[in-house]
Amino acid sequence: MLRHITPACIFAIALLAPQAQAQCPAGNPLQTLQGTWTFSTEGFNFPPTNFLASAGRFTALIVPPGPKDGIGLPTGQLTVTQTSLPDGSGARYATDTGKYQVNADCTGGTLNFNSGGRADQFDFYFSGPDEIVFVGTNNADIVTGSAKRVSAGLVNPVCPANPLTALSGTWTFRSDGFNFPPTMFLASVGRFTASLGFTPAPNVFQIGLLTVTQSGAIDGSPIRQEVDFGRYQIFPDCSGGTLTIPGNRPYQYDFWFNAPDSIVFVGSGQGDIVEGTAKRVL
């Protein structure tokens, strides 16, 4: 029967067959995660009810000789900078260290680091060479998240002459979160335009200005096309900054660039805990 299978049939069978697992880097699976990543997480702890959210950056390093665990997997080091908000109270721009491992087949691995003083172990899976999804439970926390590898030019970016211009332009964003107590669930989408302005005389200096149009829902009650005016700042190293947006529920967000035209952010205000993403409109 095999002699009747044509080359076209063989090609079709090959397309339908499961694709072989991509090979791990020669010598050390840890290399698949090596580099700098931006991430965001959200979740909860019950009981008692605590809502959790964080965003930041981690850098995965290989530190020779790379100690191995009980089943022979090498262990790498994480350096983490993040803003984390367990129940609206937490640390901004906190730095910490952690560790990571990559499975022998390079499909994923584990991350271990603190989130707002809460130690978490996450299992992660690659959804592409530069993207992962992860989930973790520790101390009764239930947390999910995602991370993207930072493009090479943003790991140690060269700031423009005026760092504020790194955010200039119009962006669309989405955010979601919660407030406790009482429990309220929050979500919003919208656009903001970042531009440059000046403070009034006599102490004149340049500032970043935001014009925001957003629609949201608070426990199902809509807020439609609200217009607000805020401000922004950029970190000295141009890795991210802060957004301050007034309005029906004023927020201050800490954000990080994961590409020149993409950011992740986390923020709080009035007990709200909110995380989200934004992309520059091109």
* CATH code for the domain in which residue 202 is found: 2.40.128.120
Question: Domain boundary residue among 149, 183, 203?
Answer: 149
Which pLDDT does position 132 carry in this prediction? Answer: 97
Q: Dihedral, CA atoms, 251, 144, 281, 56, nearest 10 degrees?
A: 60
Is 90 exceeded by the pLDDT of residue 79? yes
Q: Is residue 16 part of a domain?
A: no
Is 70 exceeded by the pLDDT of residue 235? yes
Is 90 exceeded by the pLDDT of residue 111? yes
Q: Is residue 200 part of a domain?
A: yes
Whole-structure pTM value = 0.80
Which pLDDT does position 16 carry in this prediction? Answer: 37
Task: Judge if 159 and 118 occupy the same domain.
Answer: no
What span, in angstroms and rounded, lies between the C-alpha atoms of 259 and 276?
15
Q: Is residue 105 part of a domain?
A: yes
Mean local confidence (pLDDT), 247-263: 87
Which pLDDT does position 217 carry in this prediction? Answer: 82
Q: Is residue 116 part of a domain?
A: yes
Is 80 exceeded by the pLDDT of residue 260? yes
What span, in angstroms and rounded, lies between the C-alpha atoms of 184 and 223?
15
Give the domain range for residue 135. 29-149
Choice between 45 and 189, residue whose per-residue pLDDT is larger = 189
Lowest mean pLDDT among 62-66, 141-145, 191-195, 209-213: 62-66
Is 60 exceeded by the pLDDT of residue 17? no
Q: Is residue 41 part of a domain?
A: yes
From residue 243, alpha-carbon distances to 16, 59, 192, 277 in Å are 48, 24, 10, 12
Which pLDDT does position 136 carry in this prediction? Answer: 87
Task: Judge if 43 and 126 occupy the same domain.
Answer: yes
